[in-house]
Amino acid sequence: MKIVMAIIKPFKLEEVRDALTGIGVHGLTVTEVKGYGRQKGHTEIYRGAEYAVNFLPKLKVEVAVATDQVKKVTERFSSSRSIKRCGSAPANRTPMRSDPRNSHRNVMENSPMTLKNIFGAVLAALALAVFAIDPAMAQDATINKADTTWMMTAAVLVLVMTVPGLALFYGGLVRSKNMLSMLMQVGYTVCIVILIWVIYGYSVAFTGGNDFFGGFSKAFLAGIANDTKAVTFSDRVALQELVFVMFQATFAAITASLLLGSVAERMKFSAVALFIPLWVTFVYFPIAHMVWYWAGPDGIVDAAKAVAAATGDAKVKAQAALEALQADAGYIFKLGALDFAGGTVVHINSGIAGLVGCLIVGKRLGYGKELMPPHSLVMTYIGAMLLWFGWFGFNAGSNLEATGSAITAFVNTFVATAAAAIAWVLIEWLIKGKPSLLGLVSGIVAGLVAITPASGFAGPMGGLILGLVAGVVCFFFCTVVKNMFKYDDALDVFGIHAVGGIIGAIGTGIVAAPSMGGVGITDYTGPILKVASPDYDIAGQVLIQAQAVGITILWSGIISAILFYIVKMIVGLRPTPDQEREGLDITDHGERAYN
């Protein structure tokens, strides 16, 4: 394997790319460089003398190819008269490149002729030089097979969280006459959301557009192949974009499925079938874009290096380019909010939508007058444990790499979950006199929810604290608050997911602090620009986290309410009273779970 590199004029890029595609070579990496070729108007001081220096921007193009392809690729590069230098070298050789940003090493007007100048002129005249390039120093983002394997596994784990995990968890909590209805609604949601995601959802959530919506440049997965790269959180480390697409598809699917628990046993299937596509389009995709979309570290690091190297007007332009890249992000991301795996995007979002839904759809017939116990806590227990199992993909997978942050999230998914479960069981035992299995599994889910936004930021003891707090507070909301206000949040989506998500999202601002054992915030530009990274401000970060929570609550609550009313006008939300009494298994699907 060898790396072939050339310096070209910008307008020749597409010609070179097409030429390489014609011989089956892909994966071209392009970086702007300066210092090749002459220009006028730029002056620089060197050793007390002022020189007019040639500093026109050029493009450096690099591609890794098999040894037997080097000649073909070099010929394609050299066929253009705009190419200044090109060459290849074994990938394991020591780099021998001069720094093009050191202006005194390039052609200078009024400078004395030296052997170095002559040698450089000869190289330019020949238009061919050999450069030995270490892949670690090449500008191409690398893909690690271990990361790919891990992320494919993580995507499947999140799918298992939903089907069968969440479906069984919810199914066991409803009455037996609605078991199949719950399974059907969750299964349908997963399938329809995955289809919508690959048609336009991914593009709306994860491409540039504005602060609230992406665009449609990747609708129908346009331009995405199995070798297309997506950025991660590390400079020059990439992931196959199709893997990222499907990983995020599972997040969209489970988020939409979660809210169904609030309206369980009384929202008919036709209403669900219409509501879910509308909800993911106008609620989930925009919030995912606001919280998680950014340009990635590679371009930002390059832009910061350009700022550090430039002077005068060039530095102003480079700074503007850096700021433009930093502005290419979602609104909540630009606020500086931290959400590692979906406290706002998934849990607060679905929990608030569920609360709105249960208020608009109304209470189940007999609610508050008849006992409505879970028909199978065994099914609920199985579902809860599958949720915990799959949640390792949810949290640790959100790192997008099998690195230290993934391990942090992995550990926290154990610790916080166990802490919340024990807290719930103990408080229930203290207040009600007996610890229940339902309380145990509810505490497990509350802990998983609370640690989600902090999973990669908090230390294990910070995760433990979040879990303890979530176990107690979510118990209080699912019992005292729910009974006080008498809303029929059938499966406690608001009490666990919204409340637990809020605790986790705001708490992230505290437990992410290095002084609390957290990892703090990654500064991609400070070390390059030689600017000291600001100290972590707990109060300031908590305020930012609260803003993110508030925006999510308002967006989800208002738009979800509008969508529920639209669906109510078109197909209605509820079955008839007789159909509801008979059960949705028979009236919606013509089947029974148990015969």
Residue 255: which of 198, 189, 211, 195 has the closest Cα? Answer: 189
Are 65 and 148 contained in the same domain? no
- Other Cβ atoms closer than 10 A to 467: 32
Cα-based distances in Å from 485 to 34, 227, 344, 360, 489: 66, 53, 24, 15, 11
- Other Cβ atoms closer than 10 A to 127: 16
Q: Answer whether 588's CB lies under 8 Å from 575's CB.
A: yes
The pLDDT of residue 109 is: 34
Are 12 and 149 contained in the same domain? no
Are 226 and 352 contained in the same domain? yes
Rounded mean pLDDT of 17-43?
63
- What one-letter code names the amino acid at 577? P
Total domains, the chain: 2
User: Which domain, by its residues, includes 67?
Assistant: 2-126
What would the pLDDT profile of 437-477 be if each residue is shown by its tens digit? 999 999 999 999 999 999 999 999 999 999 999 999 999 99
Q: Answer whether 98's CB lies under 8 Å from 105's CB.
A: yes
Residue 210 forms part of a structural domain: yes
> Does the structure show a pLDDT above 90 at 335?
yes
**DSSP-H helix ranges across 7-144:** 13-22, 70-78, 115-126
Residue 36 belongs to domain with CATH number: 3.30.70.120
> How many Å apart are CA 421 and CA 411, to the nearest integer?
16
- What one-letter code names the amino acid at 98? S
Residue 478: which of 230, 286, 304, 261 has the closest Cα? Answer: 261
What would the pLDDT profile of 208-232 be if each residue is shown by its tens digit? 989 999 999 999 999 999 889 999 9
Q: Name the token pair of 276.
A: 């879910």
Are 494 and 394 contained in the same domain? yes
Residue 477 forms part of a structural domain: yes
What would the pLDDT profile of 101-117 be if each residue is shown by its tens digit? 333 333 333 334 444 44
Residue where one domain finishes, among candidates 126, 159, 174? 126
Residue 454 belongs to domain with CATH number: 1.10.3430.10
> Does the structure show a pLDDT above 90 at 61?
no
Rounded mean pLDDT of 559-585?
97
Question: pLDDT band for position 67 (50/70/90)?
Answer: low
Length of the chain: 595
What would the pLDDT profile of 493-522 be if each residue is shown by its tens digit? 999 999 999 999 999 999 999 999 999 998
DSSP 156-172: HHHHHIIIIIIHHHHHH
**Biggest alpha carbon distance in the chain?**
98
What residues form DSSP beta bridges with 90?
Answer: 2
Average the pLDDT over each of 5-19, 377-391, 568-582 and give the range with the smallest value.
Answer: 5-19
Are 116 and 184 contained in the same domain? no
**DSSP-H helix ranges across 310-403:** 312-327, 331-335, 349-361, 377-396
Residue 319 forms part of a structural domain: no
Q: Name the token pair of 227.
A: 């070798």
DSSP 113-182: P-HHHHHHHHHHHHT-------TTTSSSPEE-HHHHHHHHHHHHHHHHIIIIIIHHHHHHHS-GGGHHHH
Model confidence, pTM: 0.77
Question: pLDDT band for position 89 (50/70/90)?
Answer: very low
The pLDDT of residue 26 is: 67
Are 507 and 367 contained in the same domain? yes
Are 539 and 404 contained in the same domain? yes
Are 18 and 110 contained in the same domain? yes
What would the pLDDT profile of 223-271 be if each residue is shown by its tens digit? 999 889 999 999 889 999 999 999 999 999 999 999 999 999 999 999 9
> Does the structure show a pLDDT above 60 at 131?
no
Are 209 and 233 contained in the same domain? yes
